[in-house]
Amino acid sequence: PTWLHRALIFLVVSCPCALVISVPLGFFAGIGAASKLGVLVKGSNYLEVVSKVKTVVFDKTGTLTKGEFKVVEILPSESVTGRGIDADKLLEIAALGESCSNHPIAQSVLEAYANTHAGAAPELSRVGASEEIPGRGIRIPVDGKPTLLGNERLMQGEKIEFTPQVSAGTVIYVAQEGVFLGTIVISDTVKEGCAEAIGGLKLAGVEKCVMLTGDHRRSAEAVAGELGIDEFHAELLPADKVQRVETLLGARREGDMLAFVGDGINDAPVLSRVDVGIAMGSLGSDAAIEAADIVIMDDDIRKIPATVRLARKTMRIVRQNIVFALSVKAVILVLGAVGIANMWMAVFGDVGVSVIAILNSMRMLGFKAK
């Protein structure tokens, strides 16, 4: 009977195989293409979020810079140069003070000391127990004398008169027994490809790139200017970074997403708070990798704009599959209702559309980073 034939056509065409297969397959192909680039995406929903990212926030040290600090200047205070404190003595005091720390900045001071003392390490017997002052520096007895090493806020908090150092690097202020001894300037180098990555993000449609760092403002300003960062915030404690990100989240437009890129253990709270967290997988801390939604396995920051472009292409293909499948099915359903469509058309509307949508999804596997 005619009504039975039309009902069977409706039944075959209305089967959602094309949507059920092709849409998830589009995301799987996107995740597979990302893995070929060396990018681990922990879920298809993060690809959708990345495709809507308009603001990318970067941690500075270890993400935009190598985190390989080198001592570039040793500047004794003029008020103590006549009392036996020269550059070598200042470096020795600083190395003794930093001898118990594993921080990269402390390691750079110890490396500079070793280079000037035939590879020798400071004598640990000359120092006592150190006390860390969060966000400022350390307090430690050196040769029985209370010694301070840290930033400007440490000197100001201890009410020590000091000479501010204007430098683009990280500055360690050294004081002993309440007297300012001098400064040690440490510089960090920008990673290769960072400027290219920032430019690539702009071309990919990201509107604003922001940098957060605990370093001095002058150091942050120099890096931001070199890389073309739109906005930066310096001299931040780990809790301050979370607050800054909360402010940026509150200021965004509805529908826009925010991504954060970091590598350190202090970045984990921010990585878990933002819409999508991106971690450096090679040298990043385990906490940051665990908290992140996307991991750049080889630490190549240029993979981030490539991931944004990949995510947007994935979403285009998924939308194409949805529109194509629903449009073809709708046309065949209408034709079937008026008696024009036959069973072959119904089969094409089910199986044929599914095959075409699957082939369209497979185009993602040929995605190139550039």
Report pLDDT digits (tens) over 279-301. Answer: 988 776 788 888 899 999 988 89
**Residue 168's pLDDT band (cuts 50, 70, 90):** low
User: Residue 290: which of 315, 269, 305, 275 has the closest Cα?
Assistant: 269
135-144, 159-168, 211-220: which is most confident: 135-144
Residue scoring higher pLDDT (184 or 189): 184
253-268: burial string, b at 16+ Cβ within 10 Å, e else: eeeebbbbbbbbebbb
Looking at the predicted structure, is the pLDDT value of residue 48 above 80?
A: yes
pLDDT for the residue numbered 9 = 84
**Residue 310's pLDDT band (cuts 50, 70, 90):** very high
Asked if 271 and 242 count as a contact pair (C-beta separation under 8 A), the reply is: no
Report pLDDT digits (tens) over 81-112. Answer: 767 788 999 999 999 999 888 777 888 999 99
Asked if 278 and 293 count as a contact pair (C-beta separation under 8 A), the reply is: yes
d(CA 141, CA 149): 11
Supply the DSSP string of 190-209, one letter for each residue: BPTTHHHHHHHHHHTT--EE
Give the HSE-up count for residue 82: Cα atoms under 13 Å, Cβ half-sphere. 2
Helix or strand (DSSP H, E) at 176: strand 170-176
Looking at the predicted structure, is the pLDDT value of residue 266 above 90?
A: no
d(CA 278, CA 255): 19
pLDDT for the residue numbered 124 = 87
Range 151-168 average pLDDT: 87
Q: 59 an active-site residue?
A: yes
pLDDT for the residue numbered 58 = 94
Asked if 245 and 266 count as a contact pair (C-beta separation under 8 A), the reply is: no
Residue scoring higher pLDDT (119 or 261): 261
Report pLDDT digits (tens) over 201-250. Answer: 999 999 999 999 887 788 888 889 989 999 999 888 888 889 999 999 99
Residues whose CB falls within 8 Å of the CB of residue 339, separated by 6 or more in sequence, listed in order: 2, 6
pTM as predicted: 0.76
pLDDT for the residue numbered 149 = 94
User: Residue 21: which of 369, 344, 324 has the closest Cα?
Assistant: 324
Instruction: Give percent above pLDDT 90 in the chain.
Output: 44
pLDDT for the residue numbered 141 = 93
Range 344-367 average pLDDT: 89
